[in-house]
C-alpha cells in the first residue's frame, strides 16, 4: 500500500467513526458482543472482547444470579410513581428498549431514582430456585449521584400483556429507534397490579447484565409476576435472534435479602 492510499483509508475510517458517533446509538456501543458463545462474542467471552468489559470476567458481584436462599430484612418499600411516556422504542441489536421521558420516579426509603428506560430479556436472566421464566423486564433507574437501581419483573406464560403487544407491534426490526406518534405506554402496566404495589421483593448488590458489566447496581426482583403469551415470547425472540439472557453468575459472599414480614 503506498502512502496516498494509506491516507485515503485513514480519512474514510475517521469519517465513518465521526458519522457513527453522531448517530448516538453506536456512540457508546464499544466492541461488538452478543449472546452466542459459538461466535466467540457470547457471554463467556465478554470480558476478553475489550478492556472496557473486563468487569464481565473480573467482577465479584455480577448479575444475574440464581435466587435460592434469602435472608429476611427490613428494607424500605418500593414506591413507584410512573406516568405514561410517549412511545419511543430502541432496537439496539441486543434487546427492545422503551426510553422514558423525565419525571417518573422510584422511591426506596429516602432515596429517589428517575426511571430511564425498560427493556426485555428472554429467557429471564434471574432464576428462582434454578428455574428461569420465559421472559423478564428490567426497569432501569438512576439517582442524582449516578447510582443505578434496577427492578426486575419475571414474566410467566399466561395471558398476553397489552403493553408488550403495543411495543412488539411498533418495534423496528433493524437496529433503530422509532418514536410512535400519538402512542404512549406506562411501565406500571408491566408490573404486578396496583394492590401489590410495594409488595415483596428480593434485593441484592449486582451489576449490569450486559457489557461493560459495571457493578454497584441495586437490584430488586419482584416476587409477584406478570404474564405473557407464548406468541409474545416467540415474537420477541425474533428480535433478539433467539435469546438475550446472560447466564447466572456466582453469588460469592453476597447475601440476598427479602422484605418478608
Ligand atoms: Zn436487562
Is the per-residue pLDDT at 64 higher than 80?
yes
Q: Choose between 226 and 22: higher pLDDT.
A: 226
Q: Does a structural domain hold residue 215?
A: yes
* 13 plus 68 within the same structural domain: no
What is the reported pTM? 0.88
Poorest-pLDDT segment among 16-30, 188-202, 212-226: 16-30
* 89 plus 177 within the same structural domain: yes
Q: Does a structural domain hold residue 223?
A: yes
Ligand 1 centroid distance, CA of 19 (Å): 28
Region 178-197: what's the mean pLDDT?
A: 88
Q: Does a structural domain hold residue 161?
A: yes
- Going by C-alpha positions, the residue among 203, 190, 44, 46 that lies closest to residue 120 is 190
Ligand 1 centroid distance, CA of 244 (Å): 9
Ligand 1 centroid distance, CA of 218 (Å): 13
Q: Does a structural domain hold residue 58?
A: no
Q: Does a structural domain hold residue 115?
A: yes
Indicate the pLDDT class of residue 165, thresholds 50, 70 and 90: very high
Cα angle 80-178-174, degrees, rounded to a multiple of 5: 115
Please give the sequence-ordered ranges of beta strands (E in DSSP) within the chain, or none if there are none. 66-67, 71-72, 78-81, 85-91, 96-99, 105-108, 111-121, 127-128, 135-142, 148-157, 176-185, 201-207, 215-222, 226-228, 257-258
* 92 plus 23 within the same structural domain: no
Ligand 1 centroid distance, CA of 246 (Å): 9
* 11 plus 99 within the same structural domain: no
* 113 plus 212 within the same structural domain: yes
Q: Does a structural domain hold residue 49?
A: no
Indicate the pLDDT class of residue 8, thresholds 50, 70 and 90: very low
Q: How many domains does the chain have?
A: 2
Q: Does a structural domain hold residue 34?
A: no
Expressed as residue numbers, the domain containing 7 is 1-29
C-alpha cell at 206: 449486582
Q: Does a structural domain hold residue 47?
A: no
* 6 plus 109 within the same structural domain: no
Catalytic residues: 94
Give the domain CATH number at 116: 3.10.200.10
Amino acid at each position: 500500500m503506498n502512502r496516498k492510499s494509506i491516507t485515503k483509508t485513514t480519512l474514510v475510517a475517521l469519517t465513518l467513526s465521526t458519522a457513527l458517533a453522531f448517530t448516538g446509538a453506536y456512540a457508546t456501543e464499544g466492541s461488538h458482543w452478543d449472546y452466542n458463545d459459538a461466535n466467540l462474542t457470547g457471554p463467556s467471552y465478554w470480558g476478553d472482547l475489550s478492556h472496557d468489559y473486563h468487569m464481565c470476567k473480573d467482577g465479584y458481584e455480577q448479575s444475574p444470579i440464581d435466587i435460592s436462599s434469602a435472608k429476611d430484612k427490613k428494607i424500605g418499600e418500593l414506591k413507584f410513581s410512573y406516568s405514561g411516556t410517549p412511545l419511543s422504542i430502541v432496537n439496539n441489536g441486543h434487546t427492545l428498549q422503551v426510553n422514558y421521558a423525565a419525571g417518573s420516579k422510584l422511591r426506596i426509603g429516602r432515596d429517589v431514582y428517575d426511571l430511564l428506560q425498560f427493556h426485555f430479556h428472554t429467557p429471564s436472566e434471574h432464576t428462582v430456585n434454578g428455574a428461569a421464566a420465559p421472559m423478564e423486564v428490567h426497569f432501569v433507574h438512576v439517582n442524582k449521584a449516578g447510582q443505578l437501581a434496577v427492578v426486575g419483573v419475571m414474566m410467566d406464560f399466561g395471558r398476553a400483556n397489552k403493553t408488550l403487544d403495543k411495543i412488539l407491534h411498533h418495534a423496528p426490526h433493524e437496529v433503530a429507534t422509532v418514536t410512535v406518534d400519538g402512542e404512549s405506554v406506562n411501565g406500571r402496566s408491566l408490573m404486578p397490579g396496583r394492590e401489590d404495589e410495594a409488595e415483596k421483593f428480593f434485593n441484592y448488590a449486582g451489576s449490569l447484565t450486559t457489557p461493560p458489566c459495571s457493578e454497584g447496581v441495586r437490584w430488586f426482583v419482584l416476587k409477584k409476576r406478570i404474564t405473557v403469551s407464548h406468541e409474545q415470547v416467540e415474537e420477541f425472540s425474533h428480535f433478539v435472534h433467539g435469546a438475550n439472557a446472560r447466564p447466572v453468575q456466582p453469588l460469592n459472599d453476597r447475601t440476598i435479602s427479602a422484605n418478608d414480614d
